[in-house]
Amino acid sequence: MDEYNLPLNRVEKARTKIVATVGPSCCEPSQLAILARSGVSVFRLNMAHAGPEQQQPHVDHIRQVSEDINEPLAILVDLAGPKFRLGELPDEGIFCGRDETFFLVKQNPSAANELVTSYQALVDELSLGDLVMFADGTVSMLVEELFPDRARLRVQQHGIIRSRQGINLPGVKLSAPAISVEDHQHAIWAAKTGVDFVSLSFVRSPDEVRTLKDIIRSNSSTARVIAKIEKREALERLEEIVAEADGIMVARGDLGVEIDVAEMPLAQKRIIRVCHEYHKPVIIATQMLDSMHESQRPTRAEATDVANAVLDGADACMLSGETAIGKHPRLAVEMMNRIAQVTEKSLEGLPIRQSAKKNAGGLHEVTAAVVRGAGTMAQSLNAKLVVVASHSGRTALALSQQRNFSPTIGVSSKESTLRLMCLYWGVTPLRNAPAENIEQLIKYTDEWACRVGLAAKGDRIVIVGGSHLTAGQGNKKMSSGVHDIVVVHEVEGTIA
Ligand SMILES: Nc1ncnc2c1ncn2[C@@H]1O[C@H](COP(=O)(O)OP(=O)(O)OP(=O)(O)O)[C@@H](O)[C@H]1O
Ligand SMILES: CC(=O)C(=O)O
């Protein structure tokens, strides 16, 4: 670990999890280790900017760092989905002046005002009067005339466009498949290389989420699927998409262009609310600390944005360019962690949330009741710690969704389950605990909690576990996935 030259004290991580995008500014093992020690639990690999060959070393480095710092770290592979991008342009970009004319051409641009895109059929899908947005909506052009091989556009909002920037067509229903051949290949790679979460961009329907789940399952992976909400069509079918997905990302970069940016704050709040109803984790993404690309401090508005996401109940906040290409990746992570921690203090003592109104996560009713009881017990007994032993991670997620303020420790005999917990609000995954035997688990937790200073003699710990804890490994009941044991343990403080 010394080789990373890490600070001696790792920061205490906020209950709200931090997802950080990996890019040139943070992809060395030493940099990844520092970000993990500063608050990151999940690393995001954006497949829109690099393919499996370039991303595989990042996967290897993250896994290595996780071993070195002895902490589970999760990996989220973000599939590009049907996003159209501009082709190659001069390095300095092209200035598009107001009222100037440009052409979107199917292929072989031959003049400076001819633009080619990554989706040849785009020209066929345009209609007169459509607005085409470039560079995150900072440049817009109106479709004025259509030809078989090109569309003539007039600049409405001027600005600079650059190579491979995204193109948005707000309100246009496109026929491009949700999962392109390339996305499919990337999903298979993600499944085979054992990542923990795979997200799909520009989701329009629950079927698309189901298709991605099938691809992942058929490649022997248990990775969870995150649906990115960034189109009006997704907002129209939000409940169905949330019910189908394992988690949601509010992808504000594109959402803020696809719908009126003025509508976006309320859309974000609605998405969080629906995720709460279904007990699905929700990540708030994009421009959270945008000015920290350059600056060492965020703006007041950015600090407030992070705090509001925490107060609204986000499970995680995401950093994009701030860590991928920014000048201060570590400061950005530390700042996000600090804002979340300070804000979370105001959540202490709030009543725990009710069970999911809509059980789309396949949680057994016994488990749901036990988790509810455990949360109430932990609160009324002022427990110093809640420990959850989880096979699939479902029980840990159910506990996380209660937003119980007592520190929650997740244990499992499966490392892949511990990594899922990296996204779950308030759950700290702990390696090497005897997750299959109640007596050993109690003894281990008692000693561990005293050693790290989380509890002392006489404090109470609530332990939630499945029937496997008493039935023993290999027993049939173990595979039932039902969690039906709650133990209240009074700490003996057996270590000196
Ligand atoms: N692996 C990478 N290699 C190089 N640059 C990267 C990489 N990942 C991200 N970046 C850079 O970081 C910036 C911000 O990252 P982010 O993932 O948010 O990209 P984006 O293009 O804005 O997002 P999206 O693809 O979802 O529209 C990008 O503009 C890109 O230039
Ligand atoms: C993260 C992402 O894809 C967006 O904000 O659009």
pLDDT in tens, 97-112: 999 999 999 988 889 9
Per-residue pLDDT, 159: 95
Q: What share of the chain is helix, strand, coil (3-state, %, to 5)?
A: 40, 20, 40
From 77, 198, 254, 258, mutation site for ligand 2 pocket: most ligand atoms within 8 A of C-beta: 254
Cβ of residue 199 lying under 6 Å from some atom of ligand 2: no
Does residue 5 carry a pLDDT above 60? no
Does residue 261 carry a pLDDT above 80? yes
Q: What tokens appear for 395 in the block?
A: 């029980």
Whether residues 193 and 66 fall in one domain: yes
Q: Which of 312, 346, 380 is the last residue of a domain?
A: 346
Per-residue pLDDT, 1: 44
Per-residue pLDDT, 6: 54
Q: Which of 108, 133, 168 is the last residue of a domain?
A: 168
The DSSP call for residue 138 is T
The Cα–Cα gap between 335 and 438 comes to: 39
Cβ of residue 23 lying under 6 Å from some atom of ligand 1: yes
The answer to whether residue 359 sits within a structural domain is no
Mean pLDDT, to the nearest integer, of 187-213?
97
pLDDT band at 8 (very low <50, low <70, confident <90, very high): very low
Q: Which long-range contacts (CB under 8 A, 24 or more apart) does 6-9 make?
A: 6/33, 6/34, 6/37, 6/69, 7/34, 7/37
From 199, 201, 202, 264, mutation site for ligand 2 pocket: most ligand atoms within 8 A of C-beta: 201
Per-residue pLDDT, 23: 95
Q: How far is the CA of 286 from the centre of ligand 1 (A)?
A: 11
The answer to whether residue 354 sits within a structural domain is no
Does residue 304 carry a pLDDT above 70? yes
pLDDT in tens, 337-369: 999 999 999 998 888 887 666 765 667 778 888
In the chain, the N- to C-terminal Cα span, in Å, equals 27
Whether residues 125 and 269 fall in one domain: no
The answer to whether residue 63 sits within a structural domain is yes
Cβ of residue 50 lying under 6 Å from some atom of ligand 1: yes
Cβ of residue 48 lying under 6 Å from some atom of ligand 1: yes
Atom of ligand 1 nearest to the CA of 165: 21
Per-residue pLDDT, 496: 44
Whether residues 315 and 452 fall in one domain: no
pLDDT in tens, 126-159: 999 999 999 888 999 999 999 999 999 999 999 9
Whether residues 184 and 299 fall in one domain: yes
Whether residues 326 and 316 fall in one domain: yes
Cβ of residue 174 lying under 6 Å from some atom of ligand 1: no
- Average predicted confidence (pLDDT) for the chain: 91
Compute the half-sphere exposure of residue 322: CA atoms within 13 Å on the CB side of its CA: 30
The answer to whether residue 352 sits within a structural domain is no
Write the single-letter amino acid at 347: L
For residues 410 and 4, which has the higher predicted lDDT (pLDDT)? 410
Cβ of residue 201 lying under 6 Å from some atom of ligand 2: yes
The answer to whether residue 327 sits within a structural domain is yes
Which CATH number goes with the domain that contains 183?
3.20.20.60
From 85, 325, 327, mutation site for ligand 1 pocket: most ligand atoms within 8 A of C-beta: 325
The answer to whether residue 478 sits within a structural domain is yes
Which CATH number goes with the domain that contains 420?
3.40.1380.20
Q: What tokens appear for 184 in the block?
A: 């499919």
3-class secondary structure, 177: coil
Does residue 289 carry a pLDDT above 80? yes
Whether residues 271 and 186 fall in one domain: yes
Instruction: Name which of 178-182, 388-392, 470-474 the model is least confident about.
Output: 470-474
Considering every ligand atom, which ligand is closest to the CA of 48? Answer: 1
pLDDT in tens, 48-87: 889 999 999 999 999 999 999 999 999 999 999 888 889 8
Taking a C-beta distance cutoff of 8 angstroms, is the pair 17, 39 a contact?
no
User: Residue 103: which domain range?
Assistant: 84-168
The answer to whether residue 496 sits within a structural domain is no
Whether residues 8 and 88 fall in one domain: no
Atom of ligand 2 nearest to the CA of 250: 5
Looking at the chain, the whole-number percentage of residues with pLDDT higher than 90 is 70
Per-residue pLDDT, 178: 87
Which CATH number goes with the domain that contains 123?
2.40.33.10
Buried b / exposed e across 415-436, counting CB within 10 Å, b at 16+? ebbbbbbbbbbbbbbbeebbbb
Closest CA to 454 of 375, 366, 385: 385
Q: How far is the CA of 86 from the centre of ligand 2 (A)?
A: 17
The Cα–Cα gap between 255 and 278 comes to: 22
Ligand 2, atom 2, lies closest to the CA of 251
The Cα–Cα gap between 35 and 323 comes to: 9
DSSP bridge partners of 142? 131, 154
Q: What tokens appear for 166 in the block?
A: 């995204």
Whether residues 65 and 36 fall in one domain: yes
Q: How far is the CA of 165 from the centre of ligand 2 (A)?
A: 13
> Residue 396: phi, psi to the nearest 5?
-60, -40
Per-residue pLDDT, 121: 84
The Cα–Cα gap between 117 and 107 comes to: 8
Considering every ligand atom, which ligand is closest to the CA of 252? Answer: 2
Buried b / exposed e across 230-249, counting CB within 10 Å, b at 16+? bbbbbbebbeebbbbbbbbb
Whether residues 196 and 280 fall in one domain: yes
Q: What tokens appear for 410 in the block?
A: 């997740």
Whether residues 77 and 89 fall in one domain: no
Taking a C-beta distance cutoff of 8 angstroms, is the pair 87, 163 a contact?
yes
Cβ of residue 286 lying under 6 Å from some atom of ligand 2: yes
Cβ of residue 51 lying under 6 Å from some atom of ligand 1: no
Per-residue pLDDT, 467: 63
Q: How far is the CA of 394 from the centre of ligand 2 (A)?
A: 27
- ipTM entry: 0.90
From 202, 320, 322, mutation site for ligand 1 pocket: most ligand atoms within 8 A of C-beta: 320
Q: How far is the CA of 435 from the centre of ligand 1 (A)?
A: 39
For residues 21 and 162, which has the higher predicted lDDT (pLDDT)? 21
Ligand 1, atom 15, lies closest to the CA of 321
Per-residue pLDDT, 364: 78
Q: Which of 168, 202, 219 is the last residue of a domain?
A: 168
The answer to whether residue 351 sits within a structural domain is no
Closest CA to 481 of 356, 361, 376: 361
Does residue 19 carry a pLDDT above 80? yes
Write the single-letter amino acid at 433: A
Whether residues 129 and 229 fall in one domain: no
Mean pLDDT, to the nearest integer, of 427-436?
90
For residues 127 and 466, which has the higher predicted lDDT (pLDDT)? 127
Taking a C-beta distance cutoff of 8 angstroms, is the pair 225, 245 a contact?
yes
Per-residue pLDDT, 46: 96
Tokens 């109940």 belong to residue: 313
Does residue 42 carry a pLDDT above 70? yes
Domain count, the chain: 3
Whether residues 325 and 468 fall in one domain: no
Mean pLDDT, to the nearest integer, of 435-458?
88
DSSP string, 420-452: HGGGSTTEEE-TT--TT-HHHHHHHHHHHHHHT
